[in-house]
Chain A
Amino acid sequence: MDALEGLTVLDFTSHLAGPYCTKLLADTGARVIKIERPGGDPARAQQPFLGDQPGPDRGATWHYLNTNKESVAVDLANPGSRDVVRRLMGAAQLAVTSSTPLVERELGIDYATLSGYADVPVVSVTNFGHDGPYRDYRLSDTVLYAMGAEMYSHGLAHREPLKLGGTAAVLQGGAMAAVAAMGAVTAYEVHGVGQLVDVPLFTVQISNIDRRSSSILAYRFSGRVQQRPQGAGGLAGGVYPVADGYVEVTATAGNYWRRFVDMIDDDALREPKWDNPMTAMDPAAKEEADGIVYPWMLSRTRAEVWDEARRARAMVAPIYDGTDLFGDENFHDRGLWAEIEHHEIGRQPILGRPYIFEKTPWRIRSAAPALGQHTDAVLGELGYATGEIGRLRAEGVVA
């Protein structure tokens, strides 16, 4: 039995954050009915595409985020959609939205309206929440990361601060919303309460433990603010070039330094003078250590360094790109990669389970849906006769 079997989720989200939240629910067994705008979720237009050929059913981002979902195409801007949404809410135990408060109201998917149809939990992923001075402001991944604090400390002193890769900050908001959704579903199932759960992306980013919330608390405690560059502590530490790329090293004084030295296996580094936090502050000592470490690194590949690191339990790992991750037999064998089967793009690899459940499967039941693929079937389940569905379609309410 799937862990979330029997849970029906009405998914009003689009783009990245909301769909990542509902993907986690869908892949764990929930039935997720995606209410898609007539032109389709903008994520359908996002790169990369299979063979670099764009198309609404060809995007990897789209496919990744919408596995196991059903698509019902509804024009929420059309007042005729209200009855459809009312009946859909009657069949759901959770609704998820990802519009700004103004748009929620325009589309009739604000909490007051939705909870009037059915008293089930509504998780609302917003940019800045439902109140406060920035409520109606816009966000992108970069702006979110900038305001989330500590982009300021990322990068070099004389250059601009740097963000994370891809769209990580936005997806973090989606993951946090999934945790909130499980809390809301649990409260609904255990206590019988529906409620609004507001998940502001800005607050999620501020709460991010990676040097953001901790830096803010550090400021409150000590008044200190991290400047760029942070650098890596220790006599050796940070990113090192090797024969075919880079590796990441932590070798602060103590255990980690001793394991690092065991990895390098050079007696010169075994002298006790090195294993002292103050030695790392001495540029001459660092230069002397670098003289041993760099040649060792540069004469080995990432795989060779990682083999030696694992032998010595050293805190060293290779810097992978996507092709490394896809090409790594270990991760394939463990099941990191799964497959989707789709009428247009065929069988394609997709990132698989983020976790392994012993008893309840993580599984792909279906690839991402075509726009409106499930409109007729779902409306039929809700009691709409074929003629009524035809009329709604003719009126532009559904597609």
Chain B
Amino acid sequence: MNEYLPLQGVRICDFTAVWAGQTATMYLADMGAECIKVENPFIWNPMTRAASPRINAMVAAILPPWIAGHPPEPGPRPWNNSPAFIQVLRNKKSVTVDSRRPEGLEIVKQIIRSSDVIAENLALGTLEKLGLSDDAIRAERPDIIILHMPAFGRTGAYIEGRGYGAHIDSVAGSTILRGYRDSSPSDNVGIFAGDYWGGMHGAFALMAALRHRRRTGEGQVIEMAQVESSAHMFPQAALDAAWNGRAHRSVGNRSIEGFVPNGVFPTAGTDRWIAISCRSDQEWRALVEFMGNPDWAASPDLGTAAGRARQEELVEARVAEWTAVRDRDELFHALQTAGVTAGPVLTAGEAAQDPHLAATGTWKRLPATEDYPEVDWLRPAYRFSKSDVDLRTPPCLFGEHNDYVYRDLLGFDDDTIERLRAEGHIADTFAPEALENG
């Protein structure tokens, strides 16, 4: 396979956590950057490798599957098999070091000296507390690119604000838009759209800065406040407020693009649903014809989107009656063939077995490790016809690349490595209690 990896030769010193930061560096690792995840064996970084370092099967079972659906039990190293996090570690390398101790900090600085990028989204001030201010980082490597991804910004009134994706979504204007039309936003919680969005924008900004550095030799600092990037996910609501003073609220599953009907309708069976959008009057006519030209749909008022919008509840109720007795998947293919935009509400299990995803090479099977079984893993979402942008190496287990980093990259000898292992810098297991007790 011809590689042509875009970021071959770029090294990232990776201090990212949770999803936003870890996906940003994942996209660069997918493109060929050598991403070295710096992990501290004595500090449990919340929501970065698992819900907890000591999670047992009983607790895992009461937590949601996306965070605690370990295979099938967490086992002794839950940080190596949480479905929420292990897959954002693909194509990366993991090194351990206790960066709070002077010798550990010196090791981190050595990694920084050989890095092109340092990326972080830790609580504001964490890197500074370690002795890694922007100035200190640039003292080691003047042309480095530094990416900070704070929640609410590194300046301004909200620097003390703390939050995960849910809180970022709240301030960015996402949460208010995603409930039912007739109830409060509390009906639809635990959604973190801004994490993924922030990761993509962080990766984009890094690659733009890398281009500038290739052309000028100049590094720079990038600050991406996650709430500010997330606001861009809802430009219609933000700009209707700015231009017309209008505050948007949830429209449920209706369209803000003027599509009627646009919604999620029941189909035969239990809890099976189909999404249907008539994106044009032509699609509406196709739907009506496919339904067999029922009398209720014959009214000329319904021929235009504006006319249908005036009777939206009636249209939705009639369509729902019609879908409710039909098979979801048959309806999906038949409606699409008839020229109507429609698709099933897939469960995670159904998506895992979707024939289109399987046929288009979405997954790649990785062999089992001690921590997880042989299963199919996601490849990057895009296909490059020449560059080998792919799932090339499995997700990095905790400390998996200590040998590579300490021996090959930093050039330490066996005695030094043994000493660093004895002192707890080099480890393959989390021991947050070790220092507390010692």
| A is bound by B | yes
Q: Mark B162-173, 1 if CB is under 8 A from A, else 0.
A: 111111111111
Contact A165 B174 (CB under 8 A): yes
Contact B245 A208 (CB under 8 A): no
Interface residue total, chain B, C-beta cutoff 8 A: 169
A218 at interface, CB cutoff 8 A: yes
Contact A4 B211 (CB under 8 A): yes
B210 at interface, CB cutoff 8 A: yes
Q: Which residues of B contact A129 (CB under 8 A)?
A: 360, 383
Contact A355 B222 (CB under 8 A): yes
B356 at interface, CB cutoff 8 A: yes
Contact A140 B259 (CB under 8 A): yes
Q: Which residues of B contact A167 (CB under 8 A)?
A: 236, 256-257
Query: In whole angstroms, what is the CA distance A187 to B79 when docked?
Result: 34
**A325 touches which of B85, B238, B257 (Cβ 8 Å):** B238
Contact B167 A179 (CB under 8 A): no
Contact A1 B248 (CB under 8 A): no
Contact B69 A218 (CB under 8 A): yes
A213 at interface, CB cutoff 8 A: yes
A214 at interface, CB cutoff 8 A: yes
**B211 touches which of A186, A208, A306, A318 (Cβ 8 Å):** A186
Query: In whole angstroms, what is the CA distance A137 to B335 when docked?
Result: 10
A284 at interface, CB cutoff 8 A: no
Among A290-298, A332-340, A383-391, the one that faces the other chain is A332-340
Contact B356 A134 (CB under 8 A): yes
Q: Mark B82-95, 1 if CB is under 8 A from A, else 0.
A: 01111110000000
Q: Which residues of B contact A190 (CB under 8 A)?
A: 6, 8, 214
Closest to A122 in B: B385
Query: In whole angstroms, what is the CA distance A351 to B186 when docked?
Result: 27
Q: Which residues of A contact B189 (CB under 8 A)?
A: 229-232, 238-239, 248
Among A43-51, A84-92, A266-274, A365-373, the one that faces the other chain is A43-51
Query: In whole angstroms, what is the CA distance A211 to B191 when docked?
Result: 8
Check A248/B166 contact, CB under 8 A, given A60-B239, A222-B72, A354-B229. Answer: yes
**B209 touches which of A221, A240, A353, A357 (Cβ 8 Å):** A357
Contact B64 A226 (CB under 8 A): yes
B296 at interface, CB cutoff 8 A: no
Q: Which residues of A contact B218 (CB under 8 A)?
A: 359
A–B pairs, 25, beta carbons within 8 Å = A48-B240, A131-B360, A140-B275, A146-B264, A147-B344, A147-B346, A164-B193, A166-B177, A168-B174, A183-B31, A191-B4, A197-B384, A198-B383, A209-B23, A217-B378, A221-B372, A223-B349, A248-B189, A313-B162, A315-B164, A321-B173, A322-B240, A330-B157, A357-B208, A357-B222
Other A-B pairs, 17, CB within 8 Å; known A145-B275, A206-B357, A354-B229: A132-B359, A147-B345, A149-B347, A149-B351, A152-B346, A155-B180, A163-B264, A179-B204, A221-B375, A222-B65, A229-B189, A239-B184, A246-B175, A248-B169, A320-B172, A359-B218, A360-B209
